[in-house]
Chains A and B, each alone.
Chain A
């Protein structure tokens, strides 16, 4: 089957064209724009800017640092909790019990729901006058009029829980897929040797899941870093920019201010940060080294 032929090139040609036009070229132009003064509302000022955009970003823009810090906090908390809960959920629905297929379909279903829709659902649920807290207070639990989204002390927790609702299922799906590829005889062998349940988990399950855990935390971290729809629609980055992530700040610069040059510089920074942490993470976790 390994003959020299034009066939593979013909097969990947459409993909190559699409990627070249809509992925590679845009990345190149973002880098180019980042070195330009490029603002649609002030075309007379446009032109070569050199590293000015980056200087402004690093030295004169507290909002850049603030959004970066919030992004880091968001990714760390969100991915950590998703890994923990996703692993537990995957282990549960990997067990054999009656109604497992149904249970899987139900607990995984929020993943199919979009960020905006998730927001809509949770706004209904968290609304102070008609939401779940109002209902609970009628039953004597908590106080009426609790507003978790309007309160700066609780808005972060509300965001985290909302994103967990649709994020944990996907983590669980990825880990479940890998759990299912563990040969059963490994457990039988461990059982024969008298390994406890916990012992079988730490000595058989976890080592086997290692690669999947590394890859899925990395994927999730990148996705959560880049996540815009949920935060954009839930808080719009507020109150007082407290929940503005870096991509949200980029989108605001591009869409609202039409400041394409500066927005591009911010995205280049974001891309470099992602790349740096991804490589560091893969190195530290020794991913793929056992081959």
Chain B
């Protein structure tokens, strides 16, 4: 693999990244069908069997061992939603997920725009600090954050959870967003400003409409991350009426060792919204990453 082709070596320098063609997948000519389909089907089985197993446990009556459950019973959902309190956990998770989504999106657009369109003192330090923040273990933050939260009276509050999660997610989202904004050509914006638009107006009229895929990518990234946040939620929410779904589920794991139906139904409640969101936005996610994060 070390010999070179007769063409000039292709690895240096990197070819310019196509900007207009991003929506279209750039693939090689199709390979032999079995080379795609056999591994794909195998991987699909690995992916889907666990999901199916959970679904089956959730909808068949206790004691049944059918692999294709019929008739479907909703008794387990009734148990977890009303008796165990997944209704409340669900509400908390939705509030937290949406809160984080809103703040992360707005703040990362603001900061991303600053990084992409301005040159300012301290820019490199700021960027470096955000990159370094990726190396901080979540577990490492637990002790000081616990002390801070206690001091601010933010223990057992969704506000506190939202703030912590926003702070934790913001650096990566901001880097992603600035990569995206940098890829939007600056000429239209400048033209609008020459025509007398304020910078703010130029942003809303010219940049924002083109940012839609990035907003979807960053927003859904933030939502999914918040929905799944476990460590902070476990640590900072000790009262049951402030539990989020992962925390509620972790207690279900311990308490209902034998009640697999309840565990599965709780799992479905926690999985369905986030998997649906993901299925809808995954192509934006790939786009967003290829624009911003991978090559910074």
Residues of chain A within 8 A (CB-CB) of B246 are: 114-117, 229
What are 30 A-B residue pairs whose CB atoms fall within 8 Å in the complex?
A12-B110, A18-B167, A19-B130, A19-B133, A19-B167, A22-B163, A22-B164, A25-B144, A27-B136, A30-B141, A95-B28, A95-B30, A97-B30, A105-B278, A109-B51, A109-B279, A110-B47, A112-B278, A117-B271, A124-B260, A124-B267, A176-B286, A202-B1, A207-B10, A228-B138, A228-B230, A250-B140, A251-B142, A254-B142, A254-B146
Binds B, one of A45-53, A73-81, A150-158, A193-201: A193-201
Complex Cα distance A101/B285, Å? Answer: 13
Complex Cα distance A132/B166, Å? Answer: 39
Which secondary structure characterizes the binding site on chain A? helix
The smallest beta-carbon distance between A184 and chain B, in angstroms, is: 5
Residues of chain B within 8 A (CB-CB) of A107 are: 40, 43-44, 47
Interface string of A68-104 (1 = CB under 8 A from B): 0000000000000000000011001111110001011
A8 within 8 A of B: yes
Residues of A near any B CB (own CB < 8 A): 1-2, 5, 7-9, 11-12, 14-16, 18-19, 21-27, 29-30, 33, 88-89, 92-97, 101, 103-117, 119-125, 127, 130-132, 135, 165, 169, 173-174, 176-184, 186-187, 189-191, 193, 195, 197, 199-200, 202-204, 207-208, 210-212, 215-216, 219, 222, 225-226, 228-229, 233, 247-248, 250-251, 254-255, 260, 263-264, 267-268, 270-271, 274-275, 278, 290
Residues of chain B within 8 A (CB-CB) of A114 are: 227-230, 246, 270, 274
B interface residues, how many (CB within 8 angstroms): 117
- Chain B 110-159 interface residues, beta-carbon cutoff 8 Å to A: 110-111, 113-115, 117-120, 123, 126, 129-130, 133-148
Complex Cα distance A58/B11, Å? Answer: 45
Residues of chain B within 8 A (CB-CB) of A215 are: 294-296
Instruction: Establish whether residues B26 and A22, one from each chain, have CB atoms under 8 Å apart when the complex forms.
Output: no
Known contacts A165-B46, A187-B28, A203-B1; is-contact A271 B274 (Cβ 8 Å): no
B73 within 8 A of A: no
Residues of chain B within 8 A (CB-CB) of A121 are: 50-51, 53-54, 267, 271
Residues of chain B within 8 A (CB-CB) of A92 are: 36, 39-40, 43
Complex Cα distance A21/B189, Å? Answer: 35
Residues of chain B within 8 A (CB-CB) of A120 are: 54, 249, 252-253, 263-264, 266-267
Residues of B near any A CB (own CB < 8 A): 1, 4-7, 10-15, 17-18, 22, 25-31, 33, 36-37, 39-40, 43-44, 46-51, 53-54, 57, 65, 67, 107, 110-111, 113-115, 117-120, 123, 126, 129-130, 133-148, 163-164, 166-168, 170-171, 174, 186, 189-190, 199, 224, 227-231, 235, 246-247, 249-250, 252-253, 260, 263-264, 266-267, 270-271, 274-275, 277-279, 282-283, 285-287, 289-290, 293-296
